[in-house]
Amino acid sequence: MCGIVGILSTTKKDTAVYIYDALTILQHRGQDAAGVVTAHKGRFYMRKSNGLVRNVFRTKHMTQLLGDMGIGHVRYPTAGSSSNAEAQPFYVNSPYGIAFAHNGNLTNTEQLAQELFEQDLRHINTNSDSEILLNVFASELAKLQKQRINEADIFASVKQVHKRVRGAYATIGMIPGYGIFGFRDPNGIRPLILGKRTTKGGTKYMLASESVALSALGYEITQDIKPGEAVVIDRAGNTFIKQCAESPKHSPCIFEFVYFARPDSVIDDISVYKSRLRMGEKLAEKIHKEWGVNDIDVVIPIPDTSRVAALQLAHKLDVRYSEGLIKNRYIARTFIMPGQKQRKKSVRQKLSTIELEFKGKNVLLVDDSIVRGTTSEQIVQMARDAGANKVFFASAAPAVRHPNVYGIDMASNKEFIAHDRDTNQICQAIGADKLIYQDLDDLIWCVQQGNKAITTFDCSCFNGQYVTDDIDKDYLEHVESLRSDLAKEENNIFEASELIGNDVE
Find out whether 334 is annotated in a ligand binding site. Answer: no
The dihedral built from the CA positions of residue 325, 326, 332 and 338, taken in this order, carries a sign that is negative
Grouping H, G, I as helix, E, B as strand and the rest as coil, residue 496 is: helix
Grouping H, G, I as helix, E, B as strand and the rest as coil, residue 303 is: coil
Burial readout 26-59 (b: 16 or more C-beta within 10 A, e: otherwise): bbbbbbbbbbbbbbbeeebbbbbebebbeebbee
Find out whether 305 is annotated in a ligand binding site. Answer: yes
Per the annotation, the verdict on 461 as an active-site residue is no
For residues 300 and 324, the answer to whether their CB atoms sit within 8 Å is: yes
CA separation for the pair 289, 16 (Å, rounded): 53
Between the CA of residue 237 and those of 17, 211, 232, 448, what are the distances in Å? 20, 20, 9, 34
**Contacts by 214-223 with C-beta closer than 8 Å and gap 24+?**
214/22, 216/21, 216/25, 217/18, 217/21, 217/22, 217/25, 219/195, 220/195, 220/196, 221/193, 221/194, 221/195, 221/266, 222/194, 222/195, 222/196, 223/193, 223/194
CA separation for the pair 116, 454 (Å, rounded): 35
The contacts of residue 109 (CB under 8 Å, 6+ apart) are: 79, 129, 132
The contacts of residue 497 (CB under 8 Å, 6+ apart) are: none
What is the rounded (10 degree) CA torsion for 27, 29, 32, 34?
A: -50
Find out whether 11 is annotated in a ligand binding site. Answer: no
Alpha helices in 324-399 (DSSP H): 340-350, 374-385
Percent helix, strand and coil across the chain, each rounded to 5? 40, 25, 40
Cite the annotated binding site by residue number: 305, 367-368
Cite the annotated binding site for Mg(2+) by residue number: 305, 367-368
Q: Hey, which residues are catalytic here?
A: 2
